Structure 1
Amino acid sequence: KDQSGTTIKNYKLGEIIGKGNNGKVYKTLNMDTGDVVAIKQIPLHNMAKEEISSMMKEIELLNHLDHANIVKYLASIKTKDYLNIVLEYVENGSLANTVKKFGSLPESLIAIYIEQVLQGLHYLHTQGVIHRDIKGANILTTKEGTVKLADFGVATRMGDATALPGKDYHDVAGTPYWMAPEVIEMSPASPASDIWSVGATIIELLTGSPPYFDLAAMPALFRIVQDPCPPLPKDMSPALDDFLKLCFRKDPSTRLTAKQLLDH
């Protein structure tokens, strides 16, 4: 239910500006300072104790991250019904929205965005964090065009990736069309799986949707695993074609790292 107008401590919630995989995001005013922030509100009512504690862990994780290309985490406030995560407000919204509004983007602009995505990922990966859900909807921009990675909804610290027994396809972290083949096959996510998702995101920005988007989720997952490489748009520069093939290497151990792609 829409919580616009509610006050939490010194924060007053305004309009809904996004819906994540586990909660709504509100544009919010700090009534003491006049700062505009974003609050992601995660309902607690149907969450197990373990889930809540893993959420709190995730917040701790966000708290330590500090990089120009990552949405800054500011605070968290737990109320009876919600966990409220206070985040930097990124005024321009997501690249998925940009593509919706302005249509597909030219390679030159995509290169500017993706370079910053890779800078953010390189930072995360050196901090032992895998994003796990890289896609246009989770890449925000400021009005100056600075890119910020958002919604570490399922980001985990590497080495903490032990899956709970009894998990099946429905619980695979991430969004099907952007998902790396090894993750679909239930291997633990790694920095390399974020790189695959960068490839799918480039195609999303270039054509309006990621590979296999014309298929339902299950057949798409099947094709990602089976095909030697996702179908690539025809009219790309050779450089971009080459770059995408590096992102879409089937064997994650041969996929380039964010740092290597930045030098590419």
Structure 2
Amino acid sequence: MAVWVVGKKIGDLGGYGEVYIAHQKEGDSLSKEAYAVKKLVKLNRLSIERFQREVRLCSHLNHKRIIRILAFHIQEEPYFYVMPRYQSSMNKLLPEIKRDIRRIKVVINRILDGVEYLHQQGIYHRDLKPANILLNKEDDLVISDFGLGMQAGSVTRSLTLSHAGLGTRFFAAPEQLKDAKHVDQRCDIYSLGCMIYLCFSRNVMDRHFDFRNVPPALTYVIRKSTALNKDARYADIQSLRQAFNWAIHSLVHS
């Protein structure tokens, strides 16, 4: 069984968990490669069950745009899992790529790759936001933090109460904030629209979009993705990707 030696704390997950640098013990020495350990610190029944669900859900996924869980301990304290260490999140990248059409195209399409795979597996992330996109560089990124992830039609729904809202304001779809149990892939479409918007604007006021710095072609894509009525949004990732790339193409070649 692998032994992990935990170092300094590098992240705080709002009282729910903490993230540490770690190295794997190899005999009497430590691995040169650094990893990240996510440890659960909020030890109530619901938090433990959500953490266990996150690990079980994510450990069955296999895609280069989805975070890999390398090891875990979830049956008793300490509850933790080990994952590759990434240098930063999309939050740090956003100021660098602001309104840079070509770089934005790369980042968003990489994210769409991962979300499309999730939806093909019947999984809704329900917490897509820049903080949950980890990266080393813009073409080397993964989707992380599946604490609110839900497998359609499975027992994972039972951890979400009917008529209970979950998610991060601004990024969470209106129907998810009202009833997170009965959502579909369009809740993630909404979050992706918000993330595309933030590639052009810094305004994250609740439900208010300022499109003065957003090209008209992409304004349409964002508005449709973030429609309050989910039936007015893109139905799936393929439709969103097609519209997004068409808009980007029109800007690059205009």
1:217 match? none
Q: TM-score, normalised to structure 1's length?
A: 0.78
2:80 match? 84
1:111-122 superposed matches below 5 A: 111-122=105-116
Letter in 2 for 1:182: E
1:26 aligned counterpart, secondary structure: strand
Q: Distance in 1 between matches of 2:169 and 2:185?
A: 17
1:155 and 2:153 matched: no
Deviation of 1:11 (Å):
0.7
2:178 match? 185
1:98 match? 93
Q: TM-score, normalised to structure 2's length?
A: 0.81
1:82-231 superposed matches below 5 A: 82-91=78-87, 93-99=88-94, 102=96, 104-143=98-137, 145-159=139-153, 160-162=156-158, 163-164=160-161, 168=164, 172-186=165-179, 188-210=182-204, 212=205, 220=206, 224=207, 230-231=208-209
CA gap 1:156/1:79 in 2 versus in 1, 3 angstroms: closer
1:29 and 2:23 matched: yes
User: Across the two proteins, how many residue pairs are aligned to each other?
Assistant: 233
Deviation of 1:43 (Å):
2.1
Deviation of 1:51 (Å):
4.4
Q: Distance in 1 between matches of 2:212 and 2:107?
A: 21
Residues 40, 86 of structure 1: 8 Å contact kept: yes
Residues 136, 205 of structure 1: 8 Å contact kept: no
2:44 match? 47
Deviation of 1:79 (Å):
7.7
CA gap 1:128/1:79 in 2 versus in 1, 3 angstroms: closer
2:233 match? 255
Provide structure 1 residue ranges, at least 5 long, that are not aligned to the other structure: 1-7, 213-219, 225-229
Which one is further off, 50-59 or 252-261? Answer: 50-59
2:200 aligned counterpart, secondary structure: helix
2:59 match? 63
1:178 aligned counterpart, secondary structure: coil
2:137 aligned counterpart, secondary structure: coil
CA gap 1:37/1:192 in 2 versus in 1, 3 angstroms: same
Letter in 1 for 2:62: D
Identity of aligned residues (%): 25
Residues 104, 208 of structure 1: 8 Å contact kept: no
2:12 to 6, 9, 19: 19
2:220 to 226, 231, 242: 242
Q: Distance in 2 between matches of 1:75 and 1:232?
A: 43
Runs of 4+ in 1 over 6 A off after TM superposition: none
Q: Distance in 1 between matches of 2:189 and 2:103?
A: 19
1:253 aligned counterpart, secondary structure: helix
Q: 1:45-83 CA distances to partner (integer Å, 9 max, x unpaired)?
A: x312x5434432321111111111111111202485421
Provide structure 2 residue ranges, at least 5 long, that are not aligned to the other structure: 244-254
Residues 94, 136 of structure 1: 8 Å contact kept: yes
Deviation of 1:136 (Å):
0.8
Deviation of 1:132 (Å):
0.7
Deviation of 1:23 (Å):
0.6
